[in-house]
A and B are shown apart, each in its own frame.
Chain A
Amino acid sequence: MEILSKVHARNFVMWAKDKPTVYVLSADLTSSTEADLFRDAYPERFLSMGIAEQNMLSFAGGMAREGLHPFIHTFAVFIYRRAYDQIAVSVAYPNLPVRMIGFLPGVTTPGGATHQAIEDIAVMRALPNMTIFECGDATDVESVLDAAHKVDGPVYIRMLRGEIPRLFAPTDTIQFNKARLISRGSDLTVLSTGICTEEAMRAIQVLEKRGLSVQHMHITTLKPFSDAAVMTAIARSRYGVITMENHSIIGGLGTIVAEQMAEAGIGRKLVRIGLQDTFVHGASRAYLMHKYRLDAMALIDEVQKLAGQNFSISEAELAQVYIAPGHSDAKPEAL
């Protein structure tokens, strides 16, 4: 598995080159949100807005009304917690093409509860007209801009920064409202999003060696959420479905799947891995993922409970797993 750094920063400069309507608005976190290379490349399209997110969101709404495409860059918490009313009234109601790029989702920061966006999907999902993407790897980060730019309306992106893995081949880009199929199987369906996908891939590789057949799908479009392949997979899974997300289990992927299963009348067991209705504190990502049970081992434990079996998998064995960048759709056919 390849690890890359400053993926968004570099990609955004290239992507925005021939898009003169794309502007970046930053609330004093320009380097921290990897908008610095854009600022240096296109200073005339970069607007510093200060530590004033409410104004930034309404201001962006005004710009978008005039045909521009403002891309808000700040930490996720400062978008949806500080400026929710502004998003609702100045951006979402008028269905304006403001792209909100929120960094530090969930446990990806040691900044503590003030900096950890643990309920952003729940909050933003409730807003009419809102589209939501979550990035899980470098390919997601590179392709989410195209996906967002095609949306006629506001978009919220749960973005990753710093060093991030490439789980999917660069050509295996985000397809709007389509889950990426990572592995096929009929014993169990695992739906993962964001940084949890890497953990799930690690766990599932080992589980498959133990003979378990797992349908693993990576979710990037959280709203809308209507890929029929997801419910079909759940319906035919022997043990049921496990959702895995770097977010509260309330209102995020687990809730979305629960709602849709209920509406479709799919009577399968659902297990939601995620933050169990709790704030967390400032610590390393690995520590928090382990403590709050968002990692590969947590998935193994839940699978064992669901299947009623003990697969005798150790942390050490999980750590050995090498994940090669896959091409999600092509992979099964290529085998």
Chain B
Amino acid sequence: MACINDHWQSQVRQVAQGIRRRVMEHTVRNHGGYLSQACSAAEILATLYLRIMHLGKTEKALVPAPFAGVPGPDNSAAFTGALFNGPRGPEYDRFILSPSQYALVLYALLIETGRMDPAGLEQFNVDGFTVEMIGAEHSPGMEVMTGSLGQGLSQAAGIAMARRLKGESGKVWVFMSDGEWQSGQNWEALQAITHHKLDNIGIYVDVNGQQCDGAMCDVMAIEPFADRLTAFGARVYQVDGHNLDALVRPVLEPGCAGKPVIVLADTKPWQGIDILKKRYPKLHYVRFASGDEQAEYAGILQTML
């Protein structure tokens, strides 16, 4: 469980900076990438992995295995990416990445936390490998299919229900984006979570205000977001998503029996890489319009190394 001291903060900051740098490097090298997601979510994910979730250690930095076929009755070789999150056990927490468009950010995080070998990122979006652009359940750090937005929370809730029925002490942590909450299924899920009093589930939402078509307030507004979630029965905290103390504090507070914790982490999709602001409001996927632009980003990357 989390504790507040300067040392963990410097660790988290280092990992968050590493996430940004690796995703920037990847974006420059590949002429594109999910860069704004790294900017907004770096502190949230680093804090979850280093200070909030109780995950087992991996024995070493793992190299992702090639694609072993889809799950099915005739394929015993199929696997999930959960092994990057350490061993499975009743006492360990579980991590569910709901918007798998954040997969690149997660891969960078796994490298920075020593769970994935840096060479793993060289398999990103390479035919025959599992380090997929939009992560699937075999991708490093993932264990359920979530690319169709809206299904991560429901699946996590089912897992949380089963774990409660089995008497397991480990929690289920879900990382979500704010845009996903436009989908009705999430509200169905939250309704079920609060009705069945699943307080072994915790949700961190990257409230970056962005989606594929642009700014959420223009595409499809969901405000008053916190009020809506509270009205559905959740214990909601609205915090600065780049402030580490603020990110951790909600889970240090005494629990509220029967209610899930939802932390709305307000973030800036250009945090740490200011140049991204120029692209506002089209930040969902960075694709360079010209060689000059790529060179500009490459120059900034040099300052991050």
Listed A/B pairs (25) with beta-carbon separation below 8 Å: A47-B196, A50-B188, A54-B151, A54-B154, A54-B188, A55-B191, A58-B158, A60-B158, A61-B144, A61-B158, A62-B157, A62-B158, A63-B159, A65-B144, A65-B162, A85-B151, A90-B144, A90-B151, A90-B155, A93-B70, A94-B71, A94-B137, A128-B72, A129-B72, A129-B73
Are A89's CB and B147's CB within 8 A?
yes
> Closest CB of chain B to A95's CB: distance in Å?
4
Size range of the chain A interface in the assembly: 20 to 34
B278 lies within 8 A of chain A by Cβ: no
Whether B241 sits at the interface, judged by CB under 8 Å, is no
Within 8 Å CB of B73, what residues of A? Answer: 95, 129, 151-153
A153's nearest neighbour on chain B, judged by CB, is B73
* Sample of 13 more A-B contacts, CB < 8 Å, known A62-B160, A94-B71: A55-B157, A57-B154, A58-B151, A58-B154, A62-B154, A62-B157, A62-B158, A66-B163, A66-B166, A86-B151, A90-B154, A93-B70, A95-B72
1/0 per residue, CB under 8 A from B, across A40-75: the answer is 000000011110101101111111111110100000
Query: A50, B165: Cβ atoms under 8 Å?
Result: no
B interface SS class:
helix
Chain B residues within 8 Å of A151, by CB: 73
Tell me the residues in window 34-83 of chain B with beta carbons closer than 8 Å to chain A beta carbons.
Answer: 70-73
CB neighbours of A55 from chain B (8 A): 154, 157, 185, 188-189, 191-192
**Restricting to A19-52, which residues have a CB under 8 Å from any CB of B?**
47-50, 52
* B119-131 contact mask (Cβ, 8 Å, vs A): 1 or 0: 0000000000000
Report whether A59 and B189 are in contact in the complex, using a CB–CB cutoff of 8 Å: yes
Q: Is the CB of B161 within 8 A of A59?
A: yes
Q: How many residues of B contact A (CB 8 A)?
A: 33
Top-9 shortest CB links A-B: A62-B158, A58-B154, A66-B162, A55-B188, A52-B188, A59-B158, A62-B159, A62-B155, A95-B71
Set of chain A residues within 8 Å of B150, measured between Cβ atoms: 54
Question: What residues on B are CB-neighbors of A57 within 8 Å?
Answer: 154
Q: Which of B141-187 contact A (CB under 8 A)?
A: 143-148, 150-151, 154-163, 165-166, 184-185
A59, B147: Cβ atoms under 8 Å?
Answer: no
Residues on A with beta carbons closer than 8 Å to the beta carbon of B71: 93-95, 129
Given A66-B162, A129-B72, A153-B73: A93 in contact with B145 (beta carbons within 8 A): yes
Task: Find the B residue at minimum CB distance from A51.
Answer: B188
Instruction: Specify which chain B residues have a CB less than 8 angstroms from the CB of A67 in the assembled complex.
Output: 162, 166
For A68, what are the chain B residues with a Cβ–Cβ distance below 8 Å? 162, 165
Chain B contacts for A48, CB-based, 8 A: 195
Q: Cα distance A106–B17 when bound, in Å?
A: 58
A89 to B184, alpha carbons, bound, how many Å? 16
**In whole angstroms, what is the CA distance A59 to B188 when docked?**
10
Closest approach, in angstroms, between the C-beta of B191 and any C-beta of chain A?
7
A95 to B73, CA, bound (A): 7
Q: Are B192 and A49 in contact (CB under 8 A)?
A: yes
Cα(A60)–Cα(B155), bound, Å: 7
A65 contact set on B, CB distance < 8 A: 143-144, 155, 158-159, 162
